[in-house]
Structure 1
């Protein structure tokens, strides 16, 4: 057999058994796109041996041709319009690495699938919001749509669910799905510093963007949760029906209370099957997690995905959730599947319309409630009354030393009374009842902040 030229400049002995090389086009040469080019140039021989055919980049598209991306781009055909890759000749697979749920990324993916061209993407927002439509396009035109890199970087979370656990019935899936938030919460718990201080540090270290809203407000992680839920339960979920809450309101007080009460705080996304009807719950929110739980010890910028199957039981996989290397590796894992001829239905089953998740008010659990209250007689009676009237039972309570000022909920300089942070842990109750309690407490003159409510996840 003839030798196969590789991108590394060496010659690799062909193991293609007559298969022609797989030709790639990359749209987007940012961190991930450049990482894919680098990985393929360095590991071309290894990939050819494992895929049974050579894999080669033939075309690229990005906004700035002159920008130095730290990789060699000579020999690639350059397209100024990324959408033209959908119909350009001599291309087998389009790698969409532009990002964003709309604009060029969406148009390129839709056009590629409509022309029967396979697509690999790392675009979590696109799949989370438009996954039902895109899966229908892929099925209609006989194209593959793969997105391993869209969830948890280099952790093979999607392969675990779609392939490794394909024979099992999933009961729940979720985990720690954003490294920026996990880093901030970990550092807050370790140092006692406030959110704003840790966020500034994370931005200096490159763990948080200049505008961190997508991360700290929970949207990035919620996109990943939507994808995992669709795969676990065989049908895409309506993204707008997922309750999304970020970490801006988590204060140093909350981490102190968590330590005292045996918990750690994590931004968790969870999706669960509620009953035999197929209804599911899905939410993204800060939670109290028992400190002995494995997921409570996933720290720093690491991500973790937890599954619970009827037959497979609980499983936790952990690793770096972002970065050029891990994400490029996940992108190329999908390319390798296509090179080997493996292509699965997008959601593991025939295309279906997106379904809505159960309303958050219908859920139940135990809760953590934190208040800042004035030190005056009758305050606890008012709080107890609000809990009693909503049939909420208190399991534990803790109060810290008096303070006269709190950066998370500033007081008037003329406030005559000292105040103190107060935390309550409830027994199992309804989310709707806790929302009513929070509304009542917010109206109390003695409560000086918006009450902070977190679910307790065991």
Structure 2
């Protein structure tokens, strides 16, 4: 049996709980603790889990649970719940890294493995985090951090030591939607408002439009390929540096503006910026929630295209990481 704590009870955290309720028994996974930013619930029996599931299905906050413990931290709840793995769905905190960074390192110090959809710590100091996990003989799964519904991390792992010279990608669905609205005639401000209203963009849209989100994903991809990049190494140009007229005129000339994340792995140059692309460029075809990644490798290219979110798909990908954790643990036990 694998004991799991859920760290975060937003959209992805709620979907994750529902997904684990469906397949957890089959996998041998037991949820023993659930945490939000304000406190935690220790799942002491089926009644506690059933009530948490009710809250998840109704889209309600964790503090409505009768067993909610105000002020109990995610790390404390994981320890009390005797968790083997913490599944993290916290919102990012790129400016300071906190409280995410402290939570990750404290979990590792307490002997708890990590499966995460949060990009914060992996993009700020991923090498340090992974080294600490390795020293402590712990597992870190992070498939859901990049293009969640598409196996981008698996593709990058398969290309290690394959002389990947460059990565070009559209990694942010929110800016796809914003650019799509602008192409239809809306101003930048109107497009952002419509995207937020439709829950296609974050309440703080600068996470997307100022390149934080795609930059973090680019760093994680590059490091999976073998680089040692950090978020502060990525040159970010805001999406709005291109006017609405440029976006719409490009369509009229058979081109499209896309928010492109690129990594020149040979020179160590990382960028996120709006670019005018020829319509034949694979990146120009990204629509809505689609991500497109081109790995330039050994004089040719590998193209990956597929969905990112939404929350339910991200949750499913995190459960896929549990399979890797189980295989990893079985190998350890058999040695």
Structure 1 length as normaliser, TM-score?
0.62
2:249 is matched with: 257
Q: Distance in 1 between matches of 2:280 and 2:81?
A: 56
1:60 is matched with: 34
Compare 92-101 and 147-156 and name the one that shifted more: 92-101
Choose which of 162, 165, 175 in structure 2 pairs with 1:181. 175
1:127 paired to 2:119: no
Q: Distance in 1 between matches of 2:330 and 2:118?
A: 18
Q: 1:107 to 1:260 in 2, by over 3 A?
A: same
1:206 paired to 2:212: no
| Cα-to-partner distance string for 1:306-329 (whole Å, 9 max, x where unaligned) | 222228x42222233222111111
Choose which of 144, 162, 165 in structure 1 pairs with 2:159. 165
Superposed CA RMSD: 2.8
Q: 1:243 to 1:249 in 2, by over 3 A?
A: same
Q: Which has the higher contact order (CA 8 A, sep 6+)?
A: 2
Q: Distance in 2 between matches of 1:251 and 1:286?
A: 11
| Cα-to-partner distance string for 1:258-299 (whole Å, 9 max, x where unaligned) | 13443210000011233xxxx322100001111012221111
1:295 paired to 2:290: no
Q: Distance in 1 between matches of 2:127 and 2:87?
A: 19
Contact 2:101 2:120 in 1 (8 A): no
Report deviation, 1:117.
2.2
1:31 paired to 2:11: yes
Q: Distance in 1 between matches of 2:91 and 2:21?
A: 23
1:336 paired to 2:323: yes
1:325 is matched with: 312
Q: 1:75 to 1:149 in 2, by over 3 A?
A: farther
Report deviation, 1:120.
1.0
Q: Distance in 2 between matches of 1:100 and 1:287?
A: 26
Q: Distance in 2 between matches of 1:109 and 1:120?
A: 10
Q: Tell me the SS of whatever aligns to 2:276.
A: strand
Q: 1:253 to 1:342 in 2, by over 3 A?
A: farther
Structure 2 length as normaliser, TM-score?
0.83
Larger Rg: 1
2:74 is matched with: 82
Report deviation, 1:77.
9.4
Q: Distance in 2 between matches of 1:342 and 1:166?
A: 23
Contact 1:174 1:228 in 2 (8 A): no
Q: 1:100 to 1:297 in 2, by over 3 A?
A: closer
Contact 1:59 1:76 in 2 (8 A): no
1:106 is matched with: 101
1:296-315 correspondence runs (5 A): 296-310=284-298, 313-315=300-302
Q: Which runs of 5+ in 1 are unaligned?
A: 1-20, 49-53, 345-458
| Cα-to-partner distance string for 1:54-77 (whole Å, 9 max, x where unaligned) | 122122122266993327999999
Q: Distance in 1 between matches of 2:134 and 2:12?
A: 27
Q: Which runs of 5+ in 2 are unaligned?
A: 42-50
Q: 1:343 to 1:94 in 2, by over 3 A?
A: farther
1:271 is matched with: 263
2:47 is matched with: none
1:239 paired to 2:219: no
Report deviation, 1:204.
1.7
